[in-house]
Chains A and B, each alone.
Chain A
Amino acid sequence: GAGVSQSPSNKVTEKGKDVELRCDPISGHTALYWYRQSLGQGLEFLIYFQGNSAPDKSGLPSDRFSAERTGGSVSTLTIQRTQQEDSAVYLCASSPVNPYNEQFFGPGTRLTVL
């Protein structure tokens, strides 16, 4: 398909373990975003990649969170030493080069930290 894909769709991990979440954006989209949605909460911005510019990391909640985008395409969000409060749905979105920044979302990864 031509949409944004994310893997895994579900991840259950134990407190203290590291996890990696993957996002494959739509081909040709230069902007890539990570959000998370905790239970009963809205979309919380985490990090934003735009082309070759330095990423906007202003939304990352702690230094346990990091993300990279290789080759301007696939992105990986890494959470080290996971905590129970990290449990959420992690959503990735991409957008093309246009002035309107409409984003196309993936289905999300549901992370559960036990």
Chain B
Amino acid sequence: DQQVKQNSPSLSVQEGRISILNCDYTNSMFDYFLWYKKYPAEGPTFLISISSIKDKNEDGRFTVFLNKSAKHLSLHIVPSQPGDSAVYFCAASDRDDKIIFGKGTRLHILP
């Protein structure tokens, strides 16, 4: 039973355009959400997070949107750059417990 779902295993986006990565969750107790980025042969690195009291958090080219009623969050990257090609993991936590990760979405930025 997957509590955090990333339904798109891969996504290809033209360089300079917007990349939108989606994530759905089932546990209404989750109140903190994170995105991690992973390059091959490296561990995941933290990218951006959002708490449930917000519906948007922005950091440079990266923006995370949270829709609590739909139990959905998304990561927007604009403009997309070649170095953004990686696997992106969505994760969720109820703060006092472990973080649950999705299966990841592989993003390809096309030249």
Give me the interface of A with B, judged by CB distance under 8 Å: 4, 33, 35, 41-43, 45, 48, 56, 91, 93, 99-108
> 1/0 per residue B44-88: CB within 8 Å of A?
111001010000000000000000000000000000000000000
Measured as residues with beta carbon below 8 angstroms from the partner, the interface class of chain B is 20 to 34
**Majority SS at the chain A contact face:** loop
Whether B43 lies near A107 (C-beta < 8 A) is yes
- The 8 Å CB contact of B45, one of A33, A42, A101, A105, is A105
The verdict on B99 contacting chain A, using a C-beta distance below 8 Å, is: yes
Q: Which chain B residues border A99 with CB–CB below 8 Å?
A: 32, 95
- 12 pairs of residues in contact across A and B, judged by CB atoms under 8 Å: A4-B43, A33-B98, A42-B102, A42-B103, A42-B104, A99-B32, A100-B95, A101-B32, A101-B99, A103-B99, A104-B46, A106-B43
**Cα separation A89 to B34 with both chains bound (whole Å):** 21
Q: In chain B, what residue has the closest Cβ to A47?
A: B98
Q: Is the CB of B32 within 8 A of A100?
A: yes
